Amino acid sequence: HEGKIEQIGPPTEIYRQPQTRFVADFIGRANFVEATVRDVLNGQLVVDALGTTMTVSAPSGEFHEGQTALIVVRPEMVELDHPEASVEGVVRIANYLGDVVEYDVEVGGQLLALVEKDPRHTTIHPEGETVQLRFLEDCLYVLPE
């Protein structure tokens, strides 16, 4: 990235709270979901994304109502078929890897890479199946667009 230092900090902070899209994409896998800010509440943002409303963490003072933002969604920060799921998607690719199942799920025309790590799984969702997604809102992070 032209030798520019994008962010300095502990590994967990860089992974969970990247300051730029470059850092989020460079450190681990990430999905980037466009959102519109509805409200700003003490370091939390209420945003509309993927046909639902979410409350997510964000750097303070950088956002205002109506602004477009980018949610960083790590593959492990989404649960499939949770009772509190709020988003529907279609499995496009399913890869069983023993200890994990990797999915590409299409939501509103966007492919999201997801990872399911539950060791009790004995089956996988087949390609073409409709699934319900629950985003772990306390694990998501928002960047200015």
Tokens of 1: 């990235």
Q: Map tokens 């499939």 to a residue.
A: 80
- Tens digits of residue pLDDT in 5-31: 989 999 998 988 888 899 988 888 999
Q: How many other C-beta atoms can be found within 10 angstroms of the C-beta atom of residue 51?
A: 10
| Per-position b or e across 114-126, b if 16+ CB within 10 A of its CB | bbbeeeeeeebbe
Mean pLDDT of 118-128: 81
pLDDT in tens, 44-75: 899 999 999 999 887 766 788 999 999 999 99
Given a cut of 80, is residue 144 above it in pLDDT? Answer: no
Q: Which amino acid is at 54?
A: M
What stretch of H or E contains 80? strand 78-80
Q: Which domains does the chain have, with CATH numbers?
A: 11-144 (2.40.50.100)
Other CB atoms within 10 Å distance of the CB of residue 60: 10
Closest to 65 measured CA to CA, from 43, 85, 42, 45:
45
